[in-house]
Structure 1
Amino acid sequence: MTTRKKDLRAYLKDHLLVGDGAMATQLHGVGVPVGVSFEELCLSNPRLVHEVHTSYYQAGARFLETNTYSANRDALSRYGLEHKVARINRLAVAIAREAAQDDAYVAGSIGSILAGRVKKKVLDEYRDQYEEQAIALLHAGVDGLILETFVDLEELLLAIEVIRPLTDVPVIAQLATLEVGRTRDGYALTDAFSELKAAGADVIGLNCRLGPAELLRSFENTMIPEDALLSVFPNAGRLGMTDGEYAFKSSPEYFGQSALRLREQGVRLIGGCCGTTPAHVKAIADALESLEPQARVNPTIVAGDRPSITVQNTREREKPSIVERVKTATTIIVEFDPPRDLDADQFLHGCCELHKAGADAITLADNSLATVRMSNMALGALMKSRHGIDPLLHIACRDRNLIGQQSHLMGLHALGIDQILVITGDPSRFGDLPGASSVFDVTSFDLIRMVKQLNEGVSFSGRPLKQKAQFIVGAAFNPNVRNMDAAVARLEKKVEAGADYIMTQPVYDAESIRNVYEATKHIGIPVFIGIMPLTSSRNAEFLHNEVPGIKLSTEALERMKKVQGEAARQEGIAIAKELVDTAVRYFNGIYLITPFNYYEMAAELIQYTRQQSSLVRMAQT
């Protein structure tokens, strides 16, 4: 029988300890709906929380976690409860302590604030929140703190750095891996566990995300620091659909068998996470009854056994990228929109004409203005394979979740398409399918970072890849704003995230071109200045008044009002040529946008840009 008078660290050196199971699973099972704060129940329905603790205690758990996993300021603010952090945490300890009676440990649960989301803030901003929650739990008299479900080692190390100086009670640090053996931020568990122990964690382990078999495999293939105490709280297998409802598959009997295997790996503290119930905990307790812990024996790892995130490129780039070209010569990117129907032949013909006119790359939007068009990935593959034309594909954050985004990028890599432009994307409700969902799992900043992670040979989930991608990543810049300083600050963040080049929205006067140059000349990566010829007065008024990110000069609007028909197109080309005259004096990168797929207009501007840039270079030499 456990006695709380003995320090948890000392107890685990000589004993096995059974932990509890999932709190949320039990609360949901008795009717608490998803979408509410389970932690708030410590205030509004403490008896219900007490009953869950008691059910686990009666099943054999002698290590109970407080109902405070998300009782931090960030999570509670979603329910207007951010001012009740201390109160909820203190009450949660009292509820668990009453259920624990005199022979079970009570550990204060502190969950990841990032909670599996894409990192959008500087992690250092979480310091105060970890301190606030930890102090409340410590003052309430917990026997230890359990930091759990951290998918990123860096966040868990930050939490330990904040909490360790506050107390000498045991600190349990548990990672939640998305892939067997590696954290989302790319650390092998061998390295992660070593850093956690060095940072001051008393017990190190794994919980959540994966079931017993995968967590067992993680321990089997990891070097554990000498004398480290180990914990594990697996999910009840993988979440799946059964009889029309989501459910976890692992049975209590299987959990009992798994507990024995985990004991063989030297694990001392064994409980359950998502999907586990008192029946699972009873199976663990029954399996481990009267057994002593086993000493940890690390696997024999020889050179090459451990996966490395440092891999070699296995494919040479066929041609210099636009970033390489623009360093020494004027480089022209031409945008040509994919068709809105099923006929690709006319589009490919236009691409060939633009290529013959001298375009260095043809860029294809990703359902611009949220209007459905043919897949730019499919068209890019046809351009490259049939005609040897370099595609540059836009990738919007709007249409794909993170699973789809990584799959899409992996497909582009397989096709040898590695020049992309990452954009946010226009909201779906303003497109031609207004009932469609806008995904926006990540911002353009986040996606740029994640693409560059693929270039390091690491997947979005932290899994090492056998090859490095070679993506050249562009970012968009809108200079047609009132506050240029704010726009440039946003652009600088994209550069910091890893952008290799910039493409601007179209500008319509020489002064704007000069302003863009002055505002961006310090950023250190190529800028492709956007120029789009006008086709009519109505087109000019539409762009100026209705299309986000575009603003025409008064002069351009007045000039287009005076002409019609073919004369209007010629005037639009004339205005664009005047802009080219200025642009080539300031920029090596020119981004021509084809209006209404009138590729003849763009082809004429390509040839004119080549001519004018040559004259400027000759004059400079």
Structure 2
Amino acid sequence: MKPDLREALGARILTGDGAMGTYLYQMGFPVGVSYEEFNLLRPELIQDVHRRYYEAGARVIETNTFSANRESLNKYGLDTDVEAIIRAGVLLARAGAGDDAYVVGAVGAIRAGKRRNIRTSELTRSFQQQIHALVDAGVDGLILETFYDLEEIRLALSIARKATNLPVICQFAVEKEAVTQDGHPLAAAFELLRDEGADVVGFNCRSGPNGILRAIDSVEGEIKLPLSVFPNAGIPDYVDGKYMFTASPEYFAESARKFADRGARIIGGCCGTTPEHIAAIAASLHGYVPQSVQGQDAASSQESSVVVISSKEQPQSEPVAAPVQEEEPSIVELVKQRHTVIVELDPPRDLDISKFMAGTAALKAVHADAVTMADNSLAVTRMSNIALASLVQQHVGIRPLVHIACRDRNQIGTQSHMMGLDALGIDHVLAVTGDPARFGDLPDSSSVYDMTSFEMIRMIKQLNSGVAFSGKPLKQKAKFVVGAAFNPNVKHLDKAVTRLERKIESGADYIMTQPVYDKGLIERVAEATKHLSVPVFIGIMPLASGRNAEYLHNEVPGIQLSDEVRERMKGLEGEAGRAEGVRIAEELLETALEHFNGIYLITPFMFYEMTAQLTEYVWSKTGRK
């Protein structure tokens, strides 16, 4: 007979299982259906998924009941089947796992940090039904997961504690910061949950291993409970209508040891993870004795890929009132004549634009040709790039280049957006697909994807003909110069170039690539794209730290670092990391300048001093005064 879960956690580290929903999606089952209903419709499938995770080494198996509550199932007309779905879910988990595994009843957040229209009384009724059904079906414990707000998880925990003395795991979904979405410091939240009966606390979803490691490191004080972690497999990409995750099983194996060192006693996976990820975790932790982190240097224990720069380090350049003149040649015309530099600067995530404006002024001072602004990159809410573009154009006098994502607007919103840009005299844009909303800071938001990037390019160019998206004539023609994105960090470069040719056929005027970290790849991209009829701006993003390098390589879609670059950045943080990152970027630029007139510099974490320095480096190498 296996020991109680609490007793087991005091003796060893347990491997958790991986994703259910995204794994079913990868197996070909579409989104927009209730995967929990599969407990009744496809029981053999659900049991097989549990079996695969168990055979991979998981000894904490979650029931397929995350959204098995009245509120969530009501939209599928299944609100009367809640208890039947839960009973079946527990039986299937038991049948798929061995006797030495712990079957824990999965209970997901209902409000998910956003749905404030649900009354507390309705939440209480839904949680009570779900938790009581799980306990009655004979689970070994409960896991309250993907909660954004302390208020909601406390409600669920209170109901659980009244229903049973079984172990309860409480997990937040956070994005690197040491606070819950409703503003409570994690240290205080964990302490409160412990006092109210939680046996394990931790994190799952929303972030990959890097983000959860940073969240753990940001918690002040000691976490006086066992820790559980179930990270996503990095940030998902959306390619040809499908979600794809990038973090490899090998990366999860490395991350598992880091989690163990920080006190994690249950380590599994969330969205995008598969039995292969879980097998890698189990193998990595086999016979592993975690090291105490209490002896670490204080600075190293708080290391992060985002290094905050103090105000005294920021250039104090004052914005110069010099509006862009209408007769200034376009980026496409400039790059045909000489080397041309576009620099990306992300809009702020808060209401303070002072650092952003200082950054654009610094880039203006070193004669960057344009500042480009992403459109809520990684599905994280940022200030409107159209508003910032207008301010930059008016008050700094540098050309703005605005990204337009397919994710956030339908055809009506996109045309309206483009018409507003035209009215402001902002005519350079980049059409991108956009990262899926469900993995950003507002996961309940809809990813629109009313158009593909190909269709968006065509429709924007249609405005240049004086024709609306609907086909109706407009009273004048727009003058948009439209760019397309290109990811060269792929296994089959020739196929990626074929896809790129389709974007050019759709009307793209220029190309901007994802960052490249390999000189050989720069040369291969130059060779593979030399026949194209439009200019290519090769992407170079200086690395800020060793941790930043590993995060980009393992978790961010479309970015691959060479082994040499990763080795050079290994262990470097702070100024040392940024200095080495600039040196690596300069070496890459030497090769890039031999093959491309277009240079696209991407600023990491608002360290615009780095891209300003690299802009000056380009001019020093090309002789521009």
TM (normalized to structure 1)?
0.49
Q: Between Structure 1 and Structure 2, whose CA radius of gyration is higher?
A: 1
